[in-house]
Amino acid sequence: MATLLYNIGQLLTMDQYDGQVRGKDMSNLPVYENYAVLIEDGKVSKIGPSSQLESEPADEKVDCEGRLVTPGIVEPHTHLVFGGSREHEMALKQQGVPYLDILKQGGGILSTVRATRETSEQDLYKKAMFHLDRMASYGITTVEAKSGYGMDRETELKQLRVANQVGKDHPLEVVSTFLGAHAITEDYKDNPDALLDEMAAMFPQIKEEGLAEFVDIFTEKGVFTVEQSRRYLNKAKEYGFDVKLHADEIEPLGGTQLAVELGAQSGDHLAVATDEGIEQLANSDTIGVLLPGTIFYLGKGDFARARDMIEAGATVAISTDFNPGSSVTENIQLIMSLAALKMRMTPEEIWYAVTTNAAHAINRGDVAGKIKEGRQADIVIWDAPNYKYIPYHYGVNHVNTVFKAGKKLYTRGGLHV
């Protein structure tokens, strides 16, 4: 099966650099005009000017009519599998109740923990598939999915099994992360180390069954300290996991520095990262995954200092942080607008942040985030004339067509599954 995309107005291949794109290099974004892309057997076989490729034989020829074409979006931080919802907490947020206070009252993460424990594996599967469908409609083709709403063996394994099963059954690729250390449950409020020990005891089974690629932890005041996080993640590394951190989201505890120290694939949130943390991040291979939707939705705190990070030379990605409590959206395009408006990222930087750098943040830099000859054809055609238009025109879906591995997955009007 061969498909030719031709008469492309602007083509972003994101193929200017071999690895992650650092700092000021994120402003270098070559744009190819009036180009064509030939897809054969699910992979990109040729890229070149439309005038040279329009005569190529193909089963289907798609006239892009001057539209923007980019790689599929990579989503490097989501909490995909969960039970219930938390719309009742919005009133507390409107009253200005801090998130950590909501957590102390049994709300927040703990509310979702109860709902997830009570929800069957089948119902969690249906819910996760629904959210993956919606992500696909926004141009996302690869998704990271965290557990963390069980914090007991049975429920954490249930979440990981669901994430793995939807990854097999849904066209989108799903990359799984074990986040058993997401909060301190009521049973362990006086002994959080015991909870960490229980979660760490699951490492052998998770590794043996291939249920997760990463281990993550919430390093935050009132949750897990830097030292607890260091001990826990070092143990995860001993079992062969790559590691991530929820770091410096609310209080500047030094989670960014710990992510660098441990060689974490990414440090996520980083809303209150210090000057020292930013400097260390810039001199490391750890990727800063910034989540402006969380700050926007909670309505408190400062947005991550993306400009300082980029100017220092750090690698930056962005993500929805899709979850039921602090960033309830699958709309990565809205997050791109927030990155521009609230973190002062340029359109060029934003596109690297949702493609190449996002792919590297979940160890998929060699298969996702680029349009490249020989690589899987994860491609989006946008109802937009140029790449600057997407973050500019906010709050709506600009996707026209999504290809996953060369197959048409979504067109405006519905999914093809």
pLDDT score for 89 = 83
H or E element at residue 255? helix 255-261
Contact 371, 11 (CB under 8 A): yes
Q: Using one digit for the tens of pLDDT, what is the confidence trace for 61-86?
A: 999 999 999 999 999 999 999 999 99
> Are 79 and 322 within 8 A, CB to CB?
yes
pTM for the model: 0.96
Q: State how far the Cα of 211 lies from the Cα of 205, in Å rounded to an integer.
A: 8
Beta-bridge partner residues of 43:
40, 376
The DSSP string of 268-305 is: EE-TT--HHHHHHHHTSS-EEEE-HHHHHHHT-SPPP-
**Which three-class secondary structure state does DSSP give residue 2?**
strand
pLDDT at 120 over 80: yes
Condensed to tens digits (0 to 9), the pLDDT of residues 388-416 reads: 999 999 999 999 999 999 999 999 977 67
More confident call, 368 vs 88: 368
Residues 6+ apart with CB under 8 A from 67: 8, 9, 381, 382, 383, 384, 385, 400
Q: Which residue type sits at 306?
A: A
Whether the predicted pLDDT of 317 surpasses 90: yes
pLDDT in tens, 247-284: 999 999 999 999 999 999 999 999 999 999 999 999 99
Per-residue pLDDT of 294-311, as tens digits, reads 999 988 789 999 999 999
Locate 208 and state its tokens: 């043996």
Please tell me the distance from the alpha carbon of residue 293 to that of residue 300, in angstroms, as a whole number: 11
Q: Read off the pLDDT of each residue in 343-351 and give the average, rounded to a whole number.
A: 98
What pLDDT sits at residue 191?
96
In the structure, what pLDDT confidence band is assigned to residue 186 with cuts at 50, 70 and 90? confident
> What dihedral angle (degrees, nearest 10) is formed by the CA atoms of 332, 416, 68, 55?
160
Average pLDDT, the chain: 96
pLDDT value of position 93? 74
Q: What is the pLDDT of residue 165?
A: 98
The distance from CA 169 to its chain's CA centroid, rounded to whole angstroms, is 20
> Distance between alpha carbon 241 and the CA centroid of its chain, in Å?
18
